[in-house]
Amino acid sequence: MHSGGHPDAGPWFRLLDRDRRLLSLLAEHKVFTTDQIAALEFTSIRRAQDRLAKLREMGMLFAFRESLYGGGTSQTRHALGYLGARLIAAQRAERPPTPAAHALMLERLACSPTLEHRLGINGFFAALAAHRNPARYPDTAALEGLTQWWSERKCADQFWTSVVPDRDPQIRPDGYGCWEHDRHTVRFFLEYDTGTETLSTVAAKLADYQGFPTDSFGILLFSLHSSRRETGLRTAR
């Protein structure tokens, strides 16, 4: 990106608005599958695949897949490439990561035991955000659909410190969103359950939220991986 000590911002101006939105989303939410990106910004999976391949060639994205037991691979996952990370840092007037630091972050992301959980959370919100996909619904009102989407990290910054600074953390939401439609607004905390925690652990989160001023911030929404799990949670309460 630098030549002879002179910065080269050219790659930023070769990006479409859609590309820039995607880089910003990846900076916040870390990783998306091809299907999730297609739901957010494209009219088809094929169009998404073609553009994502171009962004990888430009160094904007990093892609990886997981080998599956019995053969085959998972769907491609996409994260910020090093050039993409540098451009986002420049846009935000932040210090960019070093190449080594960014490579380590990508390794940790790809090998993270919570990767599927993160992808599940992002898939939940991407399905909601798809209702405002500008490629499919260019005439959607500005204040319709999912108008706010916070990552787990942003939730931690907002709700663990600024809201109850003199108390231990009371809640650890997986995400926070706002859905607006026809002058109605629903703000919600998301707890995305994959079935790995015991039902008693999941039920205990209800008490944590009851001790938090949720009335000021929104409702609590559980996303459970099966109807059986939902039945068990209702019984465990």
Q: What is the pTM of this model?
A: 0.88
Four-CA torsion 203, 228, 111, 205, nearest 10 degrees: -10
Between helices 17-29 and 82-91, what is the axis angle to 10°? 100
The answer to whether the CB of 83 falls within 8 A of the CB of 59 is: yes
Residue 148 has phi, psi (to 5 degrees) of: -150, 135
Position 204 scores a pLDDT of 85
Please tell me which residue, 15 or 161, carries the higher pLDDT value: 15
CB half-sphere exposure, 48, CA atoms < 13 A: 21
- Length of the chain, in residues: 237
pLDDT in tens, 122-140: 999 999 999 999 999 887 6
Position 12 scores a pLDDT of 83
Position 162 scores a pLDDT of 47
* Per-residue pLDDT at 8 exceeds 70: no
Alpha helices (H) along 9-160: 10-13, 17-29, 34-41, 45-57, 82-91, 99-111, 115-129, 152-155
Position 2 scores a pLDDT of 54
170 three-class SS: coil
* Per-residue pLDDT at 143 exceeds 80: no
Residue 68 has phi, psi (to 5 degrees) of: -100, 145
Residue percentage of the chain with pLDDT more than 70 = 88
Position 170 scores a pLDDT of 67
pLDDT in tens, 89-122: 999 999 999 999 999 999 999 999 999 999 999 9
pLDDT in tens, 155-213: 988 876 544 555 554 688 999 999 998 889 999 999 999 888 888 888 888 888 887 76
Position 169 scores a pLDDT of 46
